[in-house]
A and B are shown apart, each in its own frame.
Chain A
Amino acid sequence: MATEKKIGIREAIAATIYFLSTKLLISFPQHMAEMGETAAWIVIIISFITATVGFLVVMALIRRYPTMNIVEASEEAGGSVLGIIASIGYFSFFFATTVLLIREFSETVSTALLPRTPLSVIMGVFIISTFSAVHMGLGAIAGTALIGMPLITVTLILLNFLLLPQSNFDVIFPLFGPGLRTLISRGISHSGIAGEILFLGVIANNLDGRHKMQSAGLISLAVAGFFMVMSTLTYCAVFPYPLSLHITYPGYESSTLIYMGRFLQRIEVAFVFLWVISACIHIALSGYTAVAIVQNIFKLPSYRPLLPAFAVLAFTFALAPSDIPQAMHVDFMIVKTYGGLVVFVMPLILLLISRLRSFAKADRR
């Protein structure tokens, strides 16, 4: 296989944070409100804690095969059949994430900003620009993520701060929404919301300083988790439950509410500009991860020849959901719900099999 340029740990952290937190800009907070009612933010805390445990399992599996990434390690641990099944599962998760994000972001742009531009044109522009980035390689995408990191950080902090006058934190009570037990079970089952952390496992061999991968993952989860909890908390304070269920594009709608007197209002366009950059980075990262997995499954020397086919597939599948509610339902109620099983439970099974095999080998000796 052709060797991809290695990226530093800082780039990896920046890319992972982008990967984990960009979903805030689409309908994520609204779906969390569906899960957690007034306690939407608690669902995220529980999901991220579960995802952290899942990530440690992935790391344990990768550590057993120090020169391999998660796809190769899965094949080594589970054999050709189980390994391939696991890899197809990883691919499905990232490909579905790419496709659905393209559709959801294009719909947001279409509804809020360019209502007269055909959806296919917006989607086409997203796909061409992001797959061009993927063609340039992981280094280019991760480098952009690092440069863009201050942008999204400042955007999220500023957005939360400027929404304070519209926030009423009394309305986050009753604190436990549907009840603590339900919250915990929903939080665990939705650990797929942080499933993109597996990205680090896929690019393990491209990391300059592989031994720092675990700390990079933990830092990314902590930072992204913090932003997602804070932003969802603000969303719940601005759009109290059950109003929080009604908003199609929470990020955009929140930004239109900024009103700090006659001279500071109508500034959502500034946010949208940054969000589009964030969305492009996210789509490029998930697109890259998906094709990198296929490259590893088929042991291809390069992923680049796959790109045109993937771009066409992404475009076609992105148009498959008949409407935006269906696309969002598939994303959050299927991909992000069962994604946890694929990206965290599957590596756990493979880790156990790998250990059992080691024990069996040792016994035979």
Chain B
Amino acid sequence: MYYTKLILVVALLSLCTVTTGGCWGRTEVDDLAFVTAIGLDRGEDNSLYLTLQVTVPRAVAGGEGGGGGGNNNKTSLITTMRGKSILGLIDLANTFIDRRLSFVHGKVLIIGEELAREGLTPYISELVRFHEIRRTMFLIIAKGTAREFITKNKPVLEQNPAKDLEMLTLAGEKTGLIPTSHIHRFLVEMQSLGEESLVILAGVNEREQSKQENESNENKYEDNDNILHSGLSPITKSDTHYIAGSSPSVGGNPVELLGAAVFRKDKMVGEITGEEMRYVLYLKGAFKQGITIIEDPFADGKFIAADLRFGRPVQIRLTRNGSKFHIKILITLEGGLIGSQGEEDYTNPGILKVIERQLSTEIEKGCNNIIEKAQTLFLADIFAFGNKARRLTTTWQEWLDLNWPEKFPYAEIEASVKIELRRTGLLFRSPQTTADSNNP
């Protein structure tokens, strides 16, 4: 009896070990090819271009790359196919890629601008049903094509393409110059009546690109001074008022993530700059931290840098008067001066007050401008004010009848900003050219 029981227990345990371990679908890690980026572009005749960036494990581990990083072609395999369905093309890819494609380590989904303007529902829908695709993958809209973004991406500091793509998006998010944009958030916002999507905008810096082409053609380094003298892209009123691919910069990776693509439902309807993105984050209450630059009110042509964050959560009051909606937003920021080109003495409280007022006015103006742009140009509530309007209704039918997307462009919206500068950086007073004579 004892032996029968023992045999039964051993048999049962063995059965569980074999079956629950997933041995039926046994796949060794070195049988898999890990896709880190998926690119989608519009093709001719209602077709689709699918670009896959597949990591080359040996190169990432340091064997081929030689520790230099910077060469996407060595650390990854990039392939483009044309067809009707994403999953069909993935099967096709396995006819020339010698490992089974796996998407479990996918980091970004990049969509070409043209396709984004047509609508993303069919493609996102096809992907999120597939169990290997994670909804936490970053969603990026590429100016130009997704293929161009993937092929031109030359990571300099990172050898691992997956890490490079993730670091690139996370670094941008920290500055508040790009939105937080995961597939899941897009799906939520796309189906919502109370908000519209903002997706990370990516572009290839043409100047940097042409420089690299010159380098390879002439097989020598171009003199950096020539680049500076010939001039970078023209600068704008602010150091962050650019969209991806147009920033006045050279050196490093030619691809950049800056600004956002604006969506109405699943279709891209416009784009906003990095600076405008930050105003949207202020208004949504989603801003974390970032440096704001204003012109010094005491010195023409000089600038002041303030590191700001929320002093308290953004207050949004939404009221309804018949069919008219009024929204009042109070943004309270605090932080410190971290840089100043002027020569003021910041121990004088009056000076700080003036700077606080100047900062408030600038940010308030920026916020009201982007609100106006959203109401008149995009007709899209990218601030999620509609989610606050939900509270005005008690049933879903009432909410549907309210028809927020129609009401948003006519809402009266007023943003005000209050700023407290609590610190002045590592200096109370700025260094003075005439310090000896004026300040003994």
Q: Which residues of A contact B (CB under 8 A)?
A: 37-38, 111-118, 121-122, 124-125, 128-129, 132, 166, 168, 170-171, 173-179, 239-243, 253, 256-257, 259, 261-262, 265-266
Contact = CB atoms under 8 A, between A and B. Distances in A.
A179 B22 contact: no
A261 B384 CA distance: 24
27 contacts: A37-B396, A115-B25, A116-B24, A117-B19, A117-B22, A118-B24, A121-B19, A124-B19, A125-B19, A132-B12, A166-B184, A170-B194, A170-B391, A173-B391, A173-B393, A174-B393, A174-B394, A174-B396, A177-B395, A179-B395, A240-B192, A241-B396, A243-B191, A253-B135, A257-B136, A262-B170, A266-B134
A125 B393 CA distance: 49
Contacts of B166: 262
A77 to B, nearest CB: 42
Interface residues of B, number: 34
Nearest to B192: A240
Given A173-B391, A176-B395, A112 B136 contact: no
A243 B12 CA distance: 41
A112 B133 CA distance: 11
A321 B24 CA distance: 24
Nearest to A168: B387
Given A38-B396, A114-B22, 19 more contacts: A116-B22, A118-B24, A125-B19, A128-B15, A129-B12, A129-B16, A166-B184, A170-B384, A170-B391, A173-B391, A174-B399, A179-B395, A241-B396, A243-B187, A256-B134, A256-B136, A257-B135, A261-B170, A265-B136
Contacts of A122: 19
Contacts of A178: 395-397
A259 to B, nearest CB: 5
Contacts of A175: 394
Contact of A173 (B384, B390, B397): B390
Contacts of B388: 170
Given A171-B192, A177-B396, A256-B135, A114 B24 contact: yes
A33 B252 CA distance: 49
B387 A170 contact: yes
Interface in B353-401: 384, 387-388, 390-391, 393-399
Interface in B123-167: 131, 134-136, 166-167
Interface in B235-289: none
Contact of A243 (B15, B188, B194): B188
B179 to A, nearest CB: 15
A239 B188 contact: yes
Given A174-B394, A256-B136, A114 B188 contact: no
B283 to A, nearest CB: 14
B20 interface: yes
A170 B189 CA distance: 13
Nearest to A253: B135
A266 B162 CA distance: 14
A78 B395 CA distance: 44
A222 B267 CA distance: 46
B182 interface: yes
Interface in B164-218: 166-167, 170, 182, 184, 187-188, 191-192, 194
Contacts of B187: 243
B188 to A, nearest CB: 6
Contacts of B397: 178-179
A243 B397 CA distance: 16
A177 B194 CA distance: 15
A191 B136 CA distance: 35
Nearest to A121: B19
B131 A111 contact: yes
Contact of A125 (B16, B25, B394): B16
A128 B12 contact: yes
Contacts of B398: 174
Given A112-B131, A171-B390, A259-B182, A240 B395 contact: no
Contacts of A256: 134-136
A243 B193 CA distance: 12
What 9 pairs between A and B have smallest CB-CB spacing?
Answer: A116-B25, A117-B24, A170-B387, A173-B390, A174-B393, A259-B136, A179-B395, A37-B396, A173-B391
Contacts of A253: 135
Contact of A174 (B25, B170, B395): B395
Contacts of A243: 187-188, 191
A171 B194 contact: yes
B191 A170 contact: no
Contacts of B25: 114-117
A342 B28 CA distance: 50
A25 to B, nearest CB: 17
Nearest to A252: B131
Interface in B4-57: 12, 15-16, 19-20, 22, 24-25
Nearest to A248: B129
Contacts of B395: 174, 176-179
Contacts of B191: 240, 242-243
B412 to A, nearest CB: 21
Nearest to A261: B170
Contacts of A37: 396
A171 B15 CA distance: 46
A25 B393 CA distance: 31
Interface in B100-114: none
Contacts of B399: 173-174
A233 to B, nearest CB: 15
Contacts of B19: 117, 121-122, 124-125
Contacts of B387: 168, 170-171, 173
Contacts of B136: 256-257, 259, 265
Contacts of A241: 396
B100 to A, nearest CB: 11
Nearest to A183: B395
Contacts of A117: 19, 22, 24-25
Contacts of A118: 24
Nearest to A132: B12
Nearest to B19: A125
A129 B19 CA distance: 12
A307 to B, nearest CB: 14
Contacts of A261: 170
Given A174-B390, A259-B182, A265-B136, A115 B131 contact: yes
A350 B388 CA distance: 50
A241 B20 CA distance: 35
Nearest to A117: B24
Nearest to B387: A170
Contacts of B390: 170-171, 173-174
Contacts of B384: 170
B203 to A, nearest CB: 24
A247 to B, nearest CB: 10
Contacts of A125: 15-16, 19-20
